[in-house]
Structure 1
Amino acid sequence: MNRLECPIDGCSATIEAETEEEVMSQAEEHANSSHPELEMDDETVETIRSSIIQV
């Protein structure tokens, strides 16, 4: 299981999924709905990907 805790200050969202790809897909949906100001550029995607942990 992979887990991502939203790296945005003040956001307590946690995403869990079987694969890193599923986590990233859900993270993008979360960012679009909860953080529309966030630009999903390569640097942001890499930051999010590096925050995923195995649980």
Structure 2
Amino acid sequence: MRLECPIDGCNATIESETEQEVMAQAEEHANSSHPELELDDETVENIRSGITEV
């Protein structure tokens, strides 16, 4: 599974075996690189929808 950070100007890419692992890493990335980002239900769903299979 793969996720490219949806934040403009951020080139971070997360790859992992499962969606759960990708989401956990995405949360860590958001907390460290985008602390202003509020991880509400809508934002989390938008992030989840960006995950693709590789």
TM-score by length of 1: 0.98
* SS class of match (2:46): helix
User: Deviations for 1:19-46, whole angstroms, at most 9, x for unmatched residues?
Assistant: 0000000000000000000000000000
**Residue 27 of structure 2: aligned partner:** 28
Q: Looking at secondary structure, tell me which structure has more strand per residue.
A: 1
Per the alignment, residue 43 of structure 1 pairs with: 42
The 5 A counterparts of 1:5-24 are 5-24=4-23
TM norm structure 2: 1.00
| Structure 1, gaps ≥5 residues long | none
1:4 maps to a residue whose letter is: L
2-structure distance, mates of 1:22, 1:41: 18
RMSD value over aligned CA atoms?
0.2
What is the one-letter code of the residue matched to 1:30?
H
Runs of 4+ residues deviating >4 angstroms: none
Question: Which ranges in structure 2 are unaligned for 5 or more consecutive residues?
Answer: none
